[in-house]
Each structure stands twice: as C-alpha cells, then as structure tokens.
Amino acid sequence: MQRRNAHRAPDPAPEPRPVTVAAATPMDVLQSLIQSTQASLLRASASLTAKPVEYFYSTVLDVFQPKEHLGVFSGDRVPLPSTEGDYSSVAICIRSLLPLAQQSARHILDISIFSLLTMYLSLLVKDPKLTEMARSAYTSAVREFRLFIGSRFPADSAYPQTGYCQVFLALSTALQLFEYVNDMGATRSGFLTHHEGMLKLLQMSGPEVYQSPYLLQSFSGLRGITIFVALEKRRPIFLSQPAWIYTPFFYRPKTRREILHDIALEIPALLRHSDDLLSSLVQRPEEDSIEATLRASDLVQVLMAAQQLVAEFARIKSDLEAWLQAFKQSHAAAPLYWNTDSVMDNTNSYTDPVCIPDLQDPKYQLRFQDGQKAGTLICYWSFMLELLMSLIDVQAAVSTMVGAPEPVACAEEIITVVCKDLDANRSAADESAFLIIQSTPYLICCLEGVFVSQSPLSLVRRYFARRQ
C-alpha cells in the first residue's frame, strides 16, 4: 500500500501522561478477566448443562457487568469521559439489557438475553460448547417470541400498549444482536428480519416511549447499527425526523457519539435523492447524448435540482467537519491521531491490555490515543466517505453536460458551480478511505472492534471496486 499522510500536524511535544504497558498477551489478560468472576465455571471440564441453570445464567450476567479498569468491553478498560460515549453499539445495547434480566415475569426476555450473552462469550473465549448452547437458547427464544407477539399484538391493534412496546424493544434488541454477533457484524437476513420489525414498532410507538434510562441506552445503541443499514439500503429513515432526534434524549445531554449519529442520519435521504437525480441523467440507449434526452427547459430544471442537492451535501459535510473539530478541541492537550514511522512512539497513547494493535507492519502509520478513539473515528470517516461517494457521482454526471446546446444560456454557469470542488472531493474521499484502512489494527485485534469495523471495511471495498 502506498504511504500517504493524514491531514495532521507532526507529533506535538506530548504532555506527561501515564502509559499502561501490557505485561502479558491479550489472551492472558482475557483469561484473567474471566477467572476473576464466576465465569471460571464456564471453562470447567464438567458438562455445561450439569450446572444449575439459574447459577449458570447469573455467572454469564456477572461477566458482562461493568468493572472498573477490567471488563469485557473496551470502555471498561480505557479512561473515557462520560460525554463521549462508548464507541461500540453492541456494548451499549448489551449493557442496556442487563438490568432487565432475572425478572420472573419475563422468562422469554431472560432466554433472549442468555442466548445473546452466551454467543458473545463463546466468541470471546472460543468455546464451541458455549456456541452450541447459545444457538439452542436462541431457537427457543425465537419460538416463544413468535407466540408472545401473537398474544400481545393482535393484527387490528394499531397502537399497542406502552409496556408491551418496551418489552418488545428489549426482546428485539436481544434477538437481532444475537444474529449480528453470530454473523460477526454482518447484516444478513436473520438480523434484518428482526431489525425491520423493530423499526416498525419504534415508529408505531413514538419517540416518547424510549426516554427511560435503559430503553434510551438500547435505543442509542441500535441507532448506531441502524445508520449503517440505512446507508447500505440508501433509503431515508424516520429516525432522522426532529421528534426522533430530540424527544428520546430530552432528559439527558447527548454523548459525542450520539451527536455524530444525529448528523449521519440525514445522509441516507441524500443518497436516495442522488440516485433519483442520476437516473434522470442516465443516457437512454437509443440516444446519442444526455442532452438529447432532455428538452432545454428540462435540462435547466435538472441542473437546478443538482445544484440544490450538492448544497445539501455540502451542509452535512460541513456539520461532520465541525463535529470532528469539536472532538479535536476537547482533546487539545493531546492529538486524537497522528502519523508516525515508529511502532509506539508517543506517550499520548493508552494501551488497552486486552486489545493491543499489531503495528509492526510499516504500511500502518496512523496512531490513536486508544482504541475507543479509533472506533469513533472510523465511523466518522465512513459517514464522510459514503457522503462523498454520492456527491462525486452527482458532480461527475453533471460535468459531462458541459457544452449543452443553446438556448440554455445559464446551463454552463450552473454546471460550473455544481462541479467546482469535484477534484477536492475526490481527494477527500481517497483520504477517508485511507484513514479507515489505517484504523483497522486498533479494531481487529479484539472482538468488539471487529463488529465496529465490519461496515466501514465493506464500504471501503465498495469504494475501491468502483474505481477499477
């Protein structure tokens, strides 16, 4: 891979900051984490099914509880201001489900939570017995879930009770995350089935339902996944409406991650609009040119629509750039990321003892304060790249209309305005793709980061494929 420099100043003189040096391998630390809880039972040689069900479930729940400086998720181990929010949607959703566990009236919810947590843990410790147990529990949960839906949501019920909506959201969160985790972050048919059902219920119940702390946490985590699904499908989503942006978060300030999602939720609608516009510019097989398919008045109308769409792209691009600038300013004492030729060269780095990036490969010159920053920024660069790809498509299509025949006197002027920064956007898209790739060592070194990096890496593959 050709080395390129991110737009970042040379390494500043770092302020003193404690550095955690890993004394053991990530697997050693992980095993220590597991053994520090009742989860040591999960690795026992005795049959897993021989353990009392209630005690085994309590063991699994205990593994996922927050633990200061030592926990399953990176946010437990890396110092993180509460204003930033965990970078992993999976972690946020799982933590939102824990307080709902072991409530006697919700046996179906416990089965669903158990299947999700056991599947995640099986991948974490690479135990096929746990995988088998998780899938068996999931099968039972889906069967009971269908019965639950039929009994609680009659076909003629347009507005189900709020309590049932809340239980359904928790169930749907657990089941769709099981599919998401089982497929290592890929959004396949099993996940999408649950996801579409969840979106329908959200829209039916209204944003006020999700103001309670645990449901809001689940809602926040699901938004992070939903955005990437909507971007892939290139369709508008109701979560971008003002009521859904503001109402659920009315009683608490948003984290930096949630503010980024607010901006990104506007992008899918622009992708759809750009697809519609491009379809009107596609040359018909029986015609010799684009202009031949358009009357003069139609040409002006299409160009004005393109100009308006490009302005909307520019507005959201500016909002994303302002978000990044605010993020950098909040860490003014130390850079969020920088370029270097050394493996670990800066005391601004904090090493997660479980997730240690492999930076020996000289192709990877980007360094981050920690994996949390890498996880947040890879999402930012993905949103920017997705936006730029469609913006470039629109500008490139309009640029082919240079020389449109008269009497469209204003056409050339509009085309110039629309395409004025086409080359700059192409360079920015290249840089965003490069930064996504350079972020991967900080993420693929642990399970949580694998989930975060799946959609961004899929986007990068799509970006480079279209340039061939």
Give residue-wise pLDDT tens across range 193-243. 888 888 988 888 889 888 888 889 999 999 999 999 999 999 999 999 999
Distance CA 23, CA 27 (A): 12
Same domain, 212 and 295: no
- With respect to residue 256, please indicate whether it lies within any of the assigned structural domains: no
- With respect to residue 52, please indicate whether it lies within any of the assigned structural domains: yes
Last residue of a domain, one of 178, 207, 233: 233
Same domain, 210 and 324: no
Same domain, 293 and 188: no
Distance CA 134, CA 111 (A): 10
Of 130, 142, 131, 126, give the one whose Cα is nearest residue 51: 130
At a CB cut-off of 8 Å and minimum separation 6, what does 322 contact?
Answer: none
Same domain, 87 and 165: yes
Same domain, 374 and 456: yes
Same domain, 275 and 229: no
- With respect to residue 384, please indicate whether it lies within any of the assigned structural domains: yes
Same domain, 223 and 276: no
DSSP-derived pairing of the beta strands 366-368 and 337-339? antiparallel
Last residue of a domain, one of 188, 207, 233: 233
Distance CA 5, CA 272 (A): 33
- With respect to residue 212, please indicate whether it lies within any of the assigned structural domains: yes
Same domain, 142 and 59: yes
For the chain, what is the radius of gyration of the CA atoms?
25
Same domain, 212 and 291: no
pTM as predicted: 0.84
Same domain, 180 and 279: no
Q: What is the DSSP letter of 208?
A: G
Assess contact for 48 and 133: CB atoms under 8 A: yes
Distance CA 397, CA 270 (A): 16
Distance CA 143, CA 150 (A): 11
CA dihedral 257, 263, 268, 271 (to 10 degrees): -130
Assess contact for 16 and 349: CB atoms under 8 A: no
Same domain, 303 and 361: yes
Give the number of domains in the chain. Answer: 2
Taking the chain, what is the end-to-end CA distance rounded to the nearest angstrom? Answer: 16
Q: Give the pLDDT of residue 18.
A: 38
Amino acid at 401: M
Residue ranges of the chain whose pLDDT lies below 70: 1-54, 82, 104-106, 149-163, 282-297, 343-348, 402-409
Q: Give the pLDDT of residue 105.
A: 60
- With respect to residue 152, please indicate whether it lies within any of the assigned structural domains: yes
**Domain ranges, residue 387:** 270-465
Cβ neighbours of 362 (radius 10 Å): 10
Q: Apex CA 465: angle with CA 460 and CA 468, to 5°?
A: 135
- With respect to residue 181, please indicate whether it lies within any of the assigned structural domains: yes
- With respect to residue 242, please indicate whether it lies within any of the assigned structural domains: no
Distance CA 421, CA 423 (A): 6
- With respect to residue 261, please indicate whether it lies within any of the assigned structural domains: no
Q: Give the pLDDT of residue 134.
A: 92
Tell me the residue ranges of DSSP E strands in 304-417. Answer: 337-339, 366-368
Q: Give the pLDDT of residue 22.
A: 41
- Which two structure tokens, joined as six digits, stand for 282? 């596609």
Q: Give the pLDDT of residue 31.
A: 43
Same domain, 276 and 420: yes
Of 228, 150, 180, 142, give the one whose Cα is nearest residue 459: 228
Q: Give the pLDDT of residue 364.
A: 78
